[in-house]
Amino acid sequence: MKDDDSDEDIFLDDSFFVNRDYELTTFNFGNSALQLFCLRSSSTDYDLTGQLVWPGAVLLNNYLSGNPKMLEGLSIIELGSGVGITGILCSRFCSEVVLTDHNEEVLEILRKNIALESSFGNLISSGLNAEKLEWGNRDQLGQILQNA
User: Who has greater pLDDT, 138 or 60?
Assistant: 60
Number of folded domains that form the chain? 1
DSSP 55-76: HHHHHHHHHHHH-GGGTTT-EE
Q: 56 falls in which pLDDT band (50, 70, 90)?
A: very high
Are 36 and 27 within 8 A, CB to CB?
A: yes
pLDDT at 125: 58
**Long-range contacts, stretch 19-25, CB < 8 angstroms, 24+ apart:** 19/43, 19/48, 19/51, 22/51, 22/109, 25/53
39 falls within a domain: yes
User: How many Cβ atoms from other residues are within 10 Å of residue 116's Cβ?
Assistant: 16
4 falls within a domain: no
8 falls within a domain: no
Contacts with 28 (C-beta within 8 Å, 6 or more apart), sequence order: 34
Q: What are phi and psi of 120, to 5 degrees?
A: -85, -15
Q: Which of 15-24, 29-38, 137-146 has the lowest mean pLDDT?
A: 15-24
- Residues 82-95, mean pLDDT to the nearest whole number: 94
What distance in Å separates the CA atoms of residue 37 and residue 105, rounded to the nearest whole number? 13
User: Who has greater pLDDT, 2 or 42?
Assistant: 42
pTM of the predicted structure, to 2 decimals: 0.80
Position 148 pLDDT exceeds 80: no
38 falls within a domain: yes
- Residues 121-145, mean pLDDT to the nearest whole number: 82
Pseudo-torsion of CA 133, 139, 144, 147, nearest 10°? -160
User: Over pLDDT 90: what percentage of the chain?
Assistant: 51
What distance in Å separates the CA atoms of residue 57 and residue 61, rounded to the nearest whole number? 6
- Residues 53-72, mean pLDDT to the nearest whole number: 95
What distance in Å separates the CA atoms of residue 10 and residue 2, rounded to the nearest whole number? 6
The enclosing domain of 90 has a CATH number of 3.40.50.150
pLDDT at 1: 47
Q: 21 falls in which pLDDT band (50, 70, 90)?
A: confident
114 falls within a domain: yes
Domain that holds residue 102: 14-147
Q: 44 falls in which pLDDT band (50, 70, 90)?
A: low
9 falls within a domain: no
Position 96 pLDDT exceeds 50: yes
Calculate ∠ Cα 75-112-36, nearest 5°: 80
Strand, helix or coil for residue 148: coil
1 falls within a domain: no
